[in-house]
């Protein structure tokens, strides 16, 4: 079974301009497809056109991020000293492109979150869906052809032998968050947006696959009645999507029970029951293993992550957190703080010798370039931090951040390890045995907080087999 618009199992979400290097050169063959947020396209259209068309040359699609206007508007506002309190330039561009009802709600004088009632007028909603579709279809290609930096982008393309920008592989209908409180109201908006987007594509003669992005609370997932209602609503919709893009609020696989994972499997099975593919936009090792080995093998057709913390994401943006250096420990299938990671590695005997580190912890290219003589001492290159001072909300603040070298080492290591998880030759039986053995070995020295999922995942994976 192939998934319309989905190039393969391994999708990676592009975060910031600094991420580009992890999508190119040695890493170009480690993933199948790129997911790009609309605000990145609006923020630096020429750079993104050049990156996607000339440098990466990978299948991609654009997340229109219409959900961003559904919540408190603070996350849309600038915190820089010069423009604190104003809507950020990238979001202004998106609001301008999407138009009403977004533009009306996000009036610069008194911006507010959008409501289901804002979409009552079918004519206005149709026009809105058409504009969101046009943004995904045309924003990059327009930049490539007629944008302010078009000549430069075209020069780069000519040098690389690229004649035109490869268009996005699919179109995502406008979408909004579904929680238990206002489930019916927002579900109706989502279904109408799906229908109107399908109509817009048909009117244009655009045969790109249409994706429905389902963003749901854990309560919706775990409430049988709501989960089944969601599945039935899309199964019976007038404009059935070609693929589902799934985002479950703060769905951290290492923290879930067997029952919670079973609900996740049931949702994917239900959505895919009539032959439609599902992609988990924020997933980790459990999702990858379930997609490769369990009954989700031909249903969960893609699992996406970011370069750092993209295996789980809260729907409502959270700001103000202190970033910390985290090392992805393959034996745990999770990023851990330097203190906990060191404890696990020590228990595995990884600090004894270079050979021991490579055999028991990691032998990826990043770790080989760092761990050469003294594993315990050299491991600090994955954990170093520095104090940085910057402006936030008009105030000067100081925080501890990972050094540039630390972030680079951790990100390279993470990308290599995730690639291996998506591709290494193994079986469900071998994976489950490895998880159980790891639990028995690490539960006492490390604690259930960090390895408890090893006892849960085998049952959940086998239950889905």
Q: State whether 332 and 185 are in the same domain.
A: no
Closest CA to 271 of 241, 248, 307: 241
Q: First vs last Cα of the chain: how many Å apart?
A: 18
Please state the domain count of the chain: 2
- The CA-atom distances, in angstroms, between 60 and each of 33, 133, 135, 171, 203 are 5, 15, 14, 10, 23
Is 441 among the domain residues?
no
Q: State whether 332 and 261 are in the same domain.
A: no
Q: State whether 274 and 337 are in the same domain.
A: no
Is 443 among the domain residues?
no
Mean pLDDT score of the chain: 92
Q: State whether 159 and 130 are in the same domain.
A: yes
Is 66 among the domain residues?
yes
Closest CA to 73 of 65, 89, 85, 90: 85
Contact 140, 48 (CB under 8 A): yes
Q: State whether 128 and 175 are in the same domain.
A: yes
Q: State whether 188 and 333 are in the same domain.
A: no
Q: State whether 299 and 369 are in the same domain.
A: no
Closest CA to 141 of 153, 130, 131: 153
What percent of the chain has a predicted confidence (pLDDT) above 90?
A: 75
Instruction: Assess whether pLDDT exceeds 70 at residue 464.
Output: no
Q: State whether 227 and 86 are in the same domain.
A: yes
Q: What is the mean pLDDT of residues 59-73?
A: 96
Is 140 among the domain residues?
yes
Is 261 among the domain residues?
yes
Instruction: Assess whether pLDDT exceeds 50 at residue 465.
Output: no
Q: State whether 124 and 247 are in the same domain.
A: yes
Is 449 among the domain residues?
no
Q: State whether 124 and 264 are in the same domain.
A: yes
Q: What is the DSSP string of 96-131?
A: HHH-TTHHHHT-TTS-----GGGG--HHHHHHHHHH
Is 148 among the domain residues?
yes
Write the pLDDT tens digit of every residue in 9-53: 999 999 888 899 999 999 999 999 999 999 999 998 888 888 887
Is 465 among the domain residues?
no
Query: Domain ends where: 274, 305, 336?
Result: 305
Q: State whether 211 and 336 are in the same domain.
A: no
pTM score: 0.93
Domain that holds residue 139: 10-305
Q: State whether 389 and 293 are in the same domain.
A: no
Write the pLDDT tens digit of every residue in 218-244: 999 999 999 999 999 999 998 999 999
Q: What is the CATH number of the domain that holds 300?
A: 3.20.20
């Amino acid at each position: 079974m192939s998934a319309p618009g989905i190039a393969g199992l391994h999708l990676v979400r592009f975060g910031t301009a600094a991420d580009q290097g992890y999508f190119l050169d040695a890493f170009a063959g480690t993933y199948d497809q790129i997911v790009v947020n609309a605000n990145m396209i609006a923020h630096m259209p020429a750079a993104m056109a050049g990156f996607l068309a000339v440098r990466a040359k990978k299948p991609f699609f654009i997340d229109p991020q219409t959900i961003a206007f559904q919540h408190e508007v603070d996350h849309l506002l600038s915190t820089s000293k010069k423009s604190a309190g104003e809507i950020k330039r990238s979001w202004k561009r998106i609001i301008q492109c999407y138009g009403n009802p977004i533009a009306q709600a996000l009036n610069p004088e008194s911006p507010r979150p959008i409501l289901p009632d804002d979409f009552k007028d079918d004519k206005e909603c149709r026009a809105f869906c058409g504009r969101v579709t046009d943004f995904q279809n045309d924003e990059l290609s327009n930049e490539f052809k007629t944008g302010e930096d078009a000549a430069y982008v075209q020069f780069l393309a000519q040098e690389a032998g690229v004649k035109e920008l490869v268009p996005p592989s699919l179109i995502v209908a406008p979408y909004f968050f579904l929680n238990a409180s206002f489930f019916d109201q927002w579900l109706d908006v989502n279904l109408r947006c799906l229908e109107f987007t399908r109509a817009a594509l048909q009117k244009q003669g655009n045969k790109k696959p249409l994706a429905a992005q389902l963003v749901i609370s854990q309560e919706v997932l775990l409430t049988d009645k709501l989960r089944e209602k969601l599945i039935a609503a899309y199964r019976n919709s007038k404009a059935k999507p070609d693929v589902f893009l799934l985002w479950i609020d703060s769905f951290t696989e290492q923290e879930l029970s067997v029952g919670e994972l079973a609900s996740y499997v049931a949702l994917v099975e239900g959505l895919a029951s009539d032959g439609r593919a599902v992609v988990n936009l924020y997933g980790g090792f459990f999702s990858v293993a379930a997609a490769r080995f369990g009954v989700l093998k031909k249903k969960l057709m893609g699992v996406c992550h970011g370069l750092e913390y993209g295996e789980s994401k809260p729907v409502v943006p959270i700001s103000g957190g202190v970033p910390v250096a985290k090392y992805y420990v393959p034996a745990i299938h999770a990023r851990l703080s330097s203190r906990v990671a060191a404890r696990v590695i020590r228990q595995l005997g990884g600090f004894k010798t270079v050979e021991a580190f490579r055999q028991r912890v990691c032998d990826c290219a990043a770790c080989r370039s760092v761990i050469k003589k003294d594993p315990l001492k050299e491991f600090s290159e994955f954990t170093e931090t520095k104090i940085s001072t910057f402006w936030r909300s008009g105030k000067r603040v100081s925080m501890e951040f990972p050094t540039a070298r630390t972030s680079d080492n951790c990100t390279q290591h993470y990308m290599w390890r995730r690639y291996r998880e998506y591709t290494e030759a193994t079986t469900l039986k071998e994976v489950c045995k490895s998880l159980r053995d790891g639990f028995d070995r690490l539960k006492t020295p490390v604690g259930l907080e960090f390895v408890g999922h090893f006892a849960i995942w085998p049952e959940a994976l086998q239950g889905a087999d």
